[in-house]
């Protein structure tokens, strides 16, 4: 990826797997910081992409939604979706958008989701990024969360914080915070629906913690 506007802060939103709430959290962080949003690789749901959802949920006037570098037709692992489309994902073609604004970058799936035969989502993360991990509560999520945190730290990355998704599970959150040695930004509860009001509510809650990361 090429680098532009070195003073611009970049927040990379990753998760412990698929459907854990990365898009909702990305919208919350973008709303809290009036930051731009970019999802480098979108696989499937091209009629209503994650970028479309964030655009719908954002209420501030500053956030700009940037086009994905790859928009793949099939909701599968990017490497497999790309193969169906008859292409190979090339990291050199994934370029950060030019913007003077802060930027929220949403990953696809988890860290080790393959982009091609040798690169994974982890290869899109740069040392200067502020990494936020989304952990959704389910049976096995402690293991998946600690493995995600461990892999990031093993690769030399500093994790800026974790955001839990799902109704409160104190024992789960406490052990992840303690064993993962990670800063907890906040929690998104189970909501019956997501709209701009819900996103704004959590943006206001998380903003003090997010501002400390700058």
**186 torsion bin: left (phi>0), alpha (psi -120 to 50), beta (else):** left
| pLDDT at site 1 | 45
> Would 182 be classed as within a structural domain?
yes
| CATH number, position 58 | 3.40.50.300
| pLDDT at site 45 | 86
For residue 214, pLDDT over 80 is answered with: no
Question: Percent of the chain scored above 70 by pLDDT?
Answer: 97
| pLDDT at site 171 | 94
For residue 3, pLDDT over 60 is answered with: no
Average of per-residue pLDDT values in the chain: 94
For residue 56, pLDDT over 60 is answered with: yes
The confidence band for 2, taking pLDDT boundaries of 50, 70 and 90, is very low
46 in Cβ contact with 73 (< 8 Å): yes
> Would 2 be classed as within a structural domain?
no
> Would 3 be classed as within a structural domain?
no
> Would 107 be classed as within a structural domain?
yes
Instruction: Write out the residue range of the structural domain in which residue 142 sits.
Output: 10-211
Reported as a single tens digit per residue, the pLDDT across 59-68 is: 999 999 999 9
The confidence band for 4, taking pLDDT boundaries of 50, 70 and 90, is very low
For residue 69, pLDDT over 50 is answered with: yes
Q: At what angle do helices 141-154 and 170-180 cross, to 10 degrees?
A: 20
3 in Cβ contact with 99 (< 8 Å): no
The number of domains in the chain is 1
| pLDDT at site 15 | 96
Catalytic residue status for 39: yes
Reported as a single tens digit per residue, the pLDDT across 180-206 is: 999 999 999 999 999 999 999 999 999
> Would 175 be classed as within a structural domain?
yes
Helix (H, G, I), strand (E, B) or coil at 157: coil
| pLDDT at site 6 | 54
For residue 92, pLDDT over 50 is answered with: yes
Beta-carbon contacts of 147 under 8 Å, excluding residues fewer than 6 positions away, are 16
Kindly list the distances between the CA atom of residue 194 and the CA atoms of 89, 199, 208, in Å, as whole numbers in the listed order. 31, 7, 22
Which of 39, 118, 178, 201 is an active site residue? 39
Reported as a single tens digit per residue, the pLDDT across 131-151 is: 999 999 999 999 999 999 999
Q: For 4-10, what is the mean pLDDT? A: 70
> Would 130 be classed as within a structural domain?
yes
> Would 4 be classed as within a structural domain?
no
> Would 17 be classed as within a structural domain?
yes
């Amino acid at each position: 990826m090429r680098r532009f506007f070195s003073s611009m802060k970049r927040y990379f939103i990753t998760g412990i797997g698929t459907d854990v709430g990365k898009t909702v959290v990305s919208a919350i962080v973008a709303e809290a910081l009036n930051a731009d949003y970019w999802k480098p690789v979108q696989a499937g749901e091209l009629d209503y992409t994650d970028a479309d959802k964030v655009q719908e949920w954002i209420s501030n006037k500053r956030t700009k939604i940037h086009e994905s570098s790859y928009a793949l037709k099939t909701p599968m692992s990017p490497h497999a979706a790309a193969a169906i489309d008859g292409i190979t994902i090339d990291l050199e073609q994934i370029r950060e958008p030019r913007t003077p604004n802060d930027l929220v970058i949403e990953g696809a799936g988890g860290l080790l989701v393959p982009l091609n035969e040798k690169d994974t989502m982890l290869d899109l993360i740069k040392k200067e990024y502020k990494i936020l991990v989304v952990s959704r509560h389910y049976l096995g999520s402690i293991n998946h969360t600690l493995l995600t945190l461990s892999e990031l730290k093993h690769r030399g990355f500093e994790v800026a914080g974790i955001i839990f998704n799902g109704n409160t599970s104190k024992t789960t959150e406490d052990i992840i915070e303690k064993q993962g040695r990670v800063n907890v930004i906040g929690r998104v509860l189970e909501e019956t629906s997501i709209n701009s009001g819900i996103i704004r509510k959590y943006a206001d809650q998380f903003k003090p913690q997010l501002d400390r990361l700058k």
